[in-house]
């Protein structure tokens, strides 16, 4: 085992010449007094595959020096260690075996990785293997009941996108819940394809959760704005899902204005693509981490010397509803 405080100190020593991390604050969303049990902190983050950041993504305002892995990995770890998630869901992980699995397993996490069948990272010279989704949970808080690696289909064809779904038992409450992580197909023009992938994932999750008998949390980079069909499918699913980050808006009905913000040769891209969905009949969102402001992000956008990815991390604290039999 390693001590999280010591690892954080090591990361900060490596980053001493970079500007400090921007501070973000949790927004309390509890409707009533907190229950007696510790909340479950879930973190969702597309961390930006190293091979893509350096070799394919063309972040025209980001200096190559800011993307050096030895420092960028410390920025990623610093963000994770700062928020201490009980469950961590990552996309675009291409340094799983040499960085995340060895370090996070020693911090007490059980680790699972599912690479894309044909990762674009493999097209980049001196790559570190395929990227994929990774799921980590603290072994002292949860027990693994069931795990499924899902290769998503669209129009009955197997696709290059994947998901991991794990049923966990909370050691403190004895309650079961399912946590899933996914990363849907990118780019404009693929909306129907994403919609088909979303339908396939929902069908898989209906089977795993016995039609929502087991509460569900889904983290992902959906590569889809809230106006897309795949977003509506999740909103209107029989699994009774809500998007946690909507709760930060004044009326609780609007997604944040952005979860990714970058500048490519084609221009500035500011989109809401990342979500944490949850079973609203069984789970409460106690708090959510506020996003970086435009001023904190800075004029050159993301990634940068003080933020390692083009996507912002999302972090929520969940608690179980006190009435386990209530379904609506």
Task: Give residue limits of the domains in the chain.
Answer: 4-12+38-321
Host H or E run for residue 194: helix 191-208
Question: Which single residue is written with the structure tokens 């674009």?
Answer: 120
Query: So what's the pLDDT on residue 34?
Result: 65
The Cα-based distances of 26 to 50, 57, 103, 248, 290 in angstroms read 29, 31, 26, 10, 6
Residue 29 near residue 245, CB atoms below 8 Å: no
How many CB atoms are located within 10 Å of the residue 125 CB?
Answer: 7
Predicted pLDDT at 57: 82
Q: Tokens 């106006």 sit at which residue? A: 227
Distances (CA, A) of 110 to 2, 16, 134, 139, 213: 14, 30, 11, 6, 25
Which helix H or strand E contains 160, and what residues bound it? Answer: strand 157-170
Taking the C-alpha atoms of residue 22 and residue 133, their distance in angstroms, rounded to an integer, is 26
Return d(Cα 218, Cα 204) in angstroms, integer.
12
Predicted local confidence at residue 322, as pLDDT: 74
- The residue with tokens 């949860």 is 142
| Cβ–Cβ < 8 Å for 319, 37 | yes
Task: State residue 269's pLDDT score.
Answer: 95
Q: Which of 217, 297, 291, 307 is nearest to 261 (CA)?
A: 297
Q: Quick one: pLDDT at residue 328? A: 42
Cα 175 to its chain centre, rounded Å, is 23
CA dist., res. 184 & res. 216, Å (int): 18
Q: What is the mean pLDDT of each run of 10 residues along the chain (328 residues)?
A: 95 95 94 81 98 89 94 97 98 98 98 97 95 98 98 96 98 97 97 98 97 96 98 97 97 96 94 98 97 96 96 97 58
| DSSP-assigned beta bridge partners for residue 157 | 154
Q: Prior bond to 98 cis, omega within 30?
A: no
Q: Is the dihedral of CA 201, 203, 207, 212 positive or negative?
A: positive
* Nearest residue to 137 via CA among 65, 209, 217, 212: 217
* Side-by-side strand order, sheet with 216-221: 142-154, 157-170, 176-183, 216-221, 274-279, 241-243
The two beta strands, 40-46 and 87-93, are parallel
User: How many of the other CB atoms lie within 10 Å of CB of 187?
Assistant: 9
pLDDT value, residue 44: 98
| pLDDT score recorded for residue 98 | 97
**Which fold, 4-12+38-321?**
Deoxyribonuclease I; Chain A (3.60.10)
């Amino acid at each position: 085992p390693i001590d999280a405080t010591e690892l954080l100190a090591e990361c900060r020593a490596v980053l001493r010449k970079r500007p400090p991390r921007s501070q973000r604050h949790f927004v309390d969303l509890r409707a009533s007094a907190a229950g007696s049990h510790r909340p479950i902190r879930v973190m969702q983050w597309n961390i930006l595959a190293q091979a893509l950041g350096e070799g394919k993504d063309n972040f025209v305002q980001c200096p190559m020096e800011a993307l050096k892995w030895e420092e960028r990995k410390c920025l990623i770890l610093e963000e994770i260690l700062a928020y201490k998630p009980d469950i961590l869901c990552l996309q675009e992980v291409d340094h799983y075996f040499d960085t995340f699995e060895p370090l996070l397993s020693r911090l007490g996490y059980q680790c699972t990785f599912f690479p894309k069948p044909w990762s674009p990272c493999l097209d980049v010279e001196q790559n570190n293997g395929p990227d994929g989704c990774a799921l980590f949970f603290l072994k002292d808080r949860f027990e693994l009941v069931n795990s499924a690696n899902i290769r998503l289909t669209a129009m009955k064809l197997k696709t290059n996108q994947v998901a991991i779904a794990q049923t966990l038992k909370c050691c403190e409450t004895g309650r079961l819940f399912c946590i899933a992580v996914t990363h849907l197909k990118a780019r404009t023009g693929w909306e129907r394809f994403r919609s088909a992938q979303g339908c396939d994932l929902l069908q898989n999750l209906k089977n795993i959760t016995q039609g929502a008998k087991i509460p569900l949390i889904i983290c992902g980079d959906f590569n889809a704005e809230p106006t897309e069909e795949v977003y509506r499918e999740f909103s209107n699913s029989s699994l009774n899902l809500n998007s946690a980050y909507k709760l930060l808006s004044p009326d609780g009905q609007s997604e944040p204005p952005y979860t990714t913000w970058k500048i490519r040769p084609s221009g500035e891209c500011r989109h809401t693509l990342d979500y944490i969905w949850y079973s609203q009949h069984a789970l409460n969102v106690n708090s959510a981490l506020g996003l970086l402001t435009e001023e904190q992000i800075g004029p050159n956008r993301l990634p940068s010397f003080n933020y390692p990815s083009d996507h912002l991390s999302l972090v929520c604290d969940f608690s179980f509803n006190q009435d386990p039999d209530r379904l609506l």
